[in-house]
């Protein structure tokens, strides 16, 4: 049984059946009353049954006499972030997700998902990780464990937590190990597909191997990052800025150990800065792009996402940056890997 189906009960079932269902659900005790086609008729809780009994209803009554006939719901693939926040603020914990025929296709439980982002996600997981050898001689870098689970699994779990269900892994080097580890993603209640490169296609070229995306916006990220970036806020910034592409950025500081002289074109000193610190923002390997940008990527050619960024700028499209205020680590070298093993003891991902 799919996880959401435990919240469904047929309108033809008895009050006793409903009580047994609710008892099994424990802290998640809410049922959605449906017909044989899973069309939503109402919701039912312990409180609804109790109030029905107080009104004089009994076990012989149909459960439709007890239900709330107009429960809150959301439509599949039409996830309004403000409305989801309103549900959370009003302490509505579990919400049915309907298709256009008003049939329940899933259930959102805020205990397990913080929100629902209308995004497909592509994780780049095909690199050889040469700088981490010998660790990567028999294991692909994304499957190297940090703490108690692989690097890439932290990212997949965090994407699942914000409701991203369609995840593609771009694989090459030892890719069969990633397929064996994650399978089709059903154990995490998500769908994982694999993009298999016959030749290196760069950090964005393999995205064209996907036949169809479910959404108009796509999240692309490197799989060997350890980060607690707020994906929901990243997406909100992307939409609020009406950008064609957003690039997550991490700050990089350069401390100059000497006084810096700033001069004009005639080499006349205008200012003196004593041991200044300069801050730059570096590409953090996490992006959201509009699907329309895929037409800029050449087919079956090596193409990096930095090439796409340059093309977007040339075409006078809008790119914005998103500074990561939380934790971020690119695990490229042995010292990075060792740092990650220590950091994971103290950060929450």
Domain boundaries, the chain: 3-109, 120-343
Contact between 186 and 166 (Cβ < 8 Å): no
Dist. CA 196–CA 323, nearest whole Å: 32
Dist. CA 264–CA 149, nearest whole Å: 55
pLDDT at residue 274 tops 50: yes
The pLDDT, as a whole number, for residue 253 is 73
184 Cβ neighbours under 8 A, 6+ residues apart = 191, 192, 193
pLDDT at residue 41 tops 60: yes
Q: Does residue 151 or residue 257 have the better pLDDT?
A: 151
Which of 344, 309, 329 has its CA nearest to residue 229? 329
Choose the weakest-confidence range: 94-98, 118-122, 168-172, 199-203: 199-203
In this structure, whether the domain defined by 120-343 belongs to CATH 3.90.550.10 is answered with yes
Which numeric CATH code is attached to 3-109? Answer: 3.10.580.10
The pLDDT, as a whole number, for residue 294 is 93
Dist. CA 141–CA 143, nearest whole Å: 5
pLDDT at residue 259 tops 50: yes
Q: What are phi and psi of 47, to 5 degrees?
A: -65, -35
What does each C-alpha distance from 131 to 135, 178, 260, 278, 332 come to in angstroms?
9, 20, 36, 29, 7
Dist. CA 323–CA 315, nearest whole Å: 24
The pLDDT, as a whole number, for residue 66 is 94
Strand partners of residue 224: none
The pLDDT, as a whole number, for residue 2 is 52
How does pLDDT run across 78-129, given as a tens digit for each residue? Answer: 888 888 888 888 888 999 999 999 999 999 999 888 899 999 999 999 888 8
The pLDDT, as a whole number, for residue 1 is 41
Choose the weakest-confidence range: 44-48, 55-59, 128-132: 128-132
pLDDT at residue 208 tops 70: yes
Dist. CA 257–CA 260, nearest whole Å: 9
Dist. CA 7–CA 107, nearest whole Å: 8
Q: Does residue 1 or residue 56 have the better pLDDT?
A: 56
Q: What is the mean pLDDT of residues 315-335?
A: 92
Dist. CA 102–CA 98, nearest whole Å: 5
Choose the weakest-confidence range: 9-13, 156-160, 237-241, 264-268: 264-268
Which of 83, 122, 161 has its CA nearest to residue 287? 122
């Amino acid at each position: 049984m799919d996880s959401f189906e435990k919240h469904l009960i047929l309108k033809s079932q008895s009050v006793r059946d409903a009580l047994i269902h609710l008892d099994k659900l424990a802290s998640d005790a809410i049922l959605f009353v449906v017909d044989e086609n899973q069309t939503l008729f109402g919701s039912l809780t312990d409180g609804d049954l109790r109030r029905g009994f107080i009104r004089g209803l009994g076990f012989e009554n149909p459960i439709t006499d007890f239900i709330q006939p107009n429960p809150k719901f959301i439509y599949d693939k039409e996830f309004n972030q403000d409305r989801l926040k309103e549900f959370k603020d009003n302490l509505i914990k579990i919400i049915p997700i309907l298709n256009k025929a008003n049939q329940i296709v899933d259930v959102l439980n805020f205990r397990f998902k913080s929100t629902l982002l209308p995004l497909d996600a592509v994780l780049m997981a095909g690199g050889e990780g040469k700088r981490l050898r010998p660790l990567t001689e028999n294991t692909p870098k994304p499957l190297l464990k940090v703490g108690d689970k692989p690097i890439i699994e932290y990212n997949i779990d965090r994407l699942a937590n914000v409701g991203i269900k369609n995840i593609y892994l771009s694989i090459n080097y030892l890719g069969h190990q990633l397929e064996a580890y994650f399978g089709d993603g059903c154990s995490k209640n998500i769908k994982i597909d694999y993009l298999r490169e016959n030749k290196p296609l760069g950090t964005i070229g393999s995205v064209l191997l996907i036949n169809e995306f479910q959404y108009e916006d796509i999240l692309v990220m490197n799989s060997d990052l350890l980060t607690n970036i707020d994906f929901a806020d990243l997406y909100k910034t992307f939409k609020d800025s009406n950008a064609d592409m957003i690039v997550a950025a991490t700050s990089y500081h350069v401390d100059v150990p000497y006084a810096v002289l700033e001069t004009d074109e005639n080499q006349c000193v205008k200012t003196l800065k004593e041991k200044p610190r300069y801050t730059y923002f570096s590409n953090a390997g996490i992006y959201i792009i509009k699907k329309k940008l895929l037409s800029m990527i050449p087919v079956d050619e090596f193409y990096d996402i930095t090439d796409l960024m340059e093309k977007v700028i040339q075409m006078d499209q809008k790119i914005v940056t998103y500074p990561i205020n939380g934790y971020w680590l690119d695990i490229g070298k042995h010292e990075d890997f060792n740092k990650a093993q220590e950091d994971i003891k103290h950060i929450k991902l």
